[in-house]
Amino acid sequence: MTVDLRKGRMGLQACLLGLFALILSGKCSYSPEPDQQRTLPSGWVSLGRADPEEELSLTFALRQQNLERLSELVQVVSDPSSPQYGKYLTLDHVADLVRPSPLTLHTVQKWLLAAGVRNCRSVITQDFLTCWLSIRQAELLLPGAEFHHYMGGPAETHVVRSPHPYQLPQALAPHVDFVGGLHRFPPTSSLRQRPEPQVAGTIGIHLGVTPNVIRKRYNLTAQDVGSGTSNNSQACAQFLEQYFRDSDLAEFMRLFGGNFAHQASVARVVGQQGRGRAGIEASLDVQYLMSAGANISTWVYSSPGRHEGQEPFLQWLMLLSNESTLPHVHTVSYGDDEDSLSSAYIQRVNTELMKAATRGLTLLFASGDSGAGCWSVSGRHQFRPSFPASSPYVTTVGGTSFQNPFRITNEIVDYISGGGFSNVFPRPSYQEEAVAKFLNSSPHLPPSSYFNASGRAYPDVAALSDGYWVVSNSVPIPWVSGTSASTPVFGGLLSLINEHRILSGRPPLGFLNPRLYQQHGAGLFDVTHGCHESCLNEEVEGQGFCSGPGWDPVTGWGTPNFPALLKSLLNP
């Protein structure tokens, strides 16, 4: 919705105009910025100061209300033992709960109006405000900010960011969680193409993971597809100037989709599709979500971030807060190192994920492709968790490989599979038993100084992440690997289960983790062999955590055995 900041000029306007006059005179007191990316990511270079008259967009995350109640509601609608299980909130109910106070809305709008900022849009929940303004206005509004052009990443992306922290007037600090569009740089994709393994003999082998390999390994039949008659739908989100092409999807299904019913095109694109070359990551997401969740209506959220001031992930979160009817399952191959994000940003994004959970959305995030990760803190190495994978309100998907890379066999750990323990979020109650059991029984735990044993542990589940075929820019590409592959596969299978639930009059699965942990991973193949990578030093020698019986922070509860998973998740 468009917000007219000129309405209601009486009341606080004179006060805030006075406040803005103080800002300009340098006599106003400020609060330190709550949100900033701490260092310039490698691979990015400054191209110099931006033109003061250049326009950019900033996103103001307004302080929400009733967050404790929101957390309680997530629990009761997601816990199968609760009488409220499956009784999800509508977007209007969520808005009524979290909408910023009238004082917050009035204070922020008058502050912006006093600075001459009038072109703003809000969302239904009224807790985000995106405004278009000149760089001159932005630097006056947020003292300390100084906007520069930067270029970096594999696609030589251009962005406008401030290398310096901003300040908020103290009168505004209680009303604004953070201002987005100043600091965070787009993370680069970690999807990789691996060398083709060498194999002796050709009897009974496959030459890479395709939809038929997925369906055979996870025990899907030709009948395990969507009916085409329900209101079931699924979605994936693409960022970082990643686009898919309809022609690539059609060619992929021609090559690999002949043995099961499927839809030939994406049902809806939310956002703008770029005209550039297709990205392997976007192609992979769409092709495997639509072949695992076969014959189910599929949406693609396209937030390319081509406007230099935008943050694509924030744009996606705001889209969720502005649509009353959404797909039931969303898969996202996006992540940042936890330590690269401010507390204000990470807590607010976590609240947005909580809002989605109360509405019955199943959000699956890739666990990352750096194993346990590694960084140095005060000269000592530690593992490096990833966010949003570490959020307690998403289902995080790790990665596996076939024990024999050319045969459909048991799965082992894919050494890149992201996993570990959050340094921000405490361990949620739903996984207390499973994680405690792992910590007390694993024979291969890394030194305790490397991880926060009391943090939210991830991933929750896994699927094959190694050796996929993808069609991109009309070319079939083999041996593409990463948890960006396993995530849409698991999401597609959950969409098939939602299909059965909807057709039998039950609500969709919603936030899966409380049920998943209560059922101790029922319906999943337990992955018990292999370790993922970590710090290359003498103490751990490149080894992070190792898988074992039951849940582990490498493959979660394991990979899907579709008939058993359907049985375990169909009722109630």
According to the annotation, is 204 in a ligand binding site?
A: no
According to the annotation, is 339 in a ligand binding site?
A: no
According to the annotation, is 550 in a ligand binding site?
A: yes
Phi, psi (deg, nearest 5) at residue 246:
-60, -35
Q: In the block, which residue shows the tokens 């029984």?
A: 441
Phi, psi (deg, nearest 5) at residue 320:
-65, -30
Catalytic residue chosen out of the listed positions 122, 484, 534, 547: 484
Catalytic residue chosen out of the listed positions 127, 248, 285, 336: 285
Distance CA 510, CA 33 (A): 35
CA torsion sign, 63 to 309 to 3 to 70? negative
According to the annotation, is 201 in a ligand binding site?
A: no
Q: Hey, what are 332's tokens?
A: 């996202």
Is 139 known to be catalytic?
no
Distance CA 401, CA 412 (A): 5
Catalytic residue chosen out of the listed positions 146, 177, 281, 460: 281
Question: Under a CB-based contact definition with an 8 Å cutoff, are residues 180 and 37 in contact?
Answer: no
What separation in angstroms does the CA of 291 have from each of 224, 416, 434, 470? 11, 24, 32, 12
Of 544, 71, 140, residue with least CA distance to 351: 71
DSSP 164-224: S--EEETTTGGGEEEEESSSPPPPPP--EEPPPPP-S--TT--SSB-HHHHHHHTT--TT-
Distance CA 60, CA 313 (A): 14
The distance from CA 392 to its chain's CA centroid, rounded to whole angstroms, is 12
Is 484 known to be catalytic?
yes
Distance CA 269, CA 298 (A): 9
**Residues paired with residue 413 on neighbouring β-strands, in sequence order:** 400
The count of other CB atoms within 10 Å of the CB of residue 207 is 14
Distance CA 214, CA 193 (A): 19
- Return the axis-axis angle of helices 67-78 and 91-98, rounded to nearest 10°: 150
Is 281 known to be catalytic?
yes
The count of other CB atoms within 10 Å of the CB of residue 441 is 12
- Helix then strand then coil, in percent of the chain rounded to 5, is 30, 25, 45
Of 237, 218, 190, 91, residue with least CA distance to 418: 190
Q: In the block, which residue shows the tokens 């509508």?
A: 90
- Residues tagged active-site: 281, 285, 484
Residue numbers belonging to the annotated binding site for Ca(2+): 526-527, 550, 552
